[in-house]
Amino acid sequence: MMKALFIVYNQAYGDEIIAMLEGLGQRGFTRFDGVGGRGSVDGIPHLDNHAWPEYNDALIVLMDEDKVEPTLEALRKKDAETPDLGIRAFAWKLENIL
């Protein structure tokens, strides 16, 4: 079964998240640059404006189900190293793929 992983991360990570995915054997992704938002619990707004100048990038990654947990664990580790930057990831099952 395939799953989709939606990863949102502070732009300060640059290409580190993509390099991490490649290190886990994940080649494909779709990247969205300059994504604004604010965490639901204690996140600082990242809105790319004069008041909140930081922004996020986001990835949608389609992967085999067995790769999801190792990927999430690597993301948790990176987030724990620099919690002020912020990483969030959400996974869901894919039903139809063209």
For residues 93, 24, 71, 89, the Cα torsion angle rounded to the nearest 10 degrees is -80
The domain made up of 2-93 is a member of CATH 2.40.370.10: no
How many whole angstroms separate alpha carbon 7 and alpha carbon 32? Answer: 10
- Is the whole-model pTM more than 0.95? no
Q: Tens of pLDDT along 10-20?
A: 999 999 999 99
Domains of the chain by residue range = 2-93
Q: Tens of pLDDT along 47-86?
A: 888 888 889 999 999 999 999 999 999 999 999 999 888 8
Q: Tens of pLDDT along 25-57?
A: 999 999 999 999 888 777 788 888 888 888 999
Residue type, 53: P
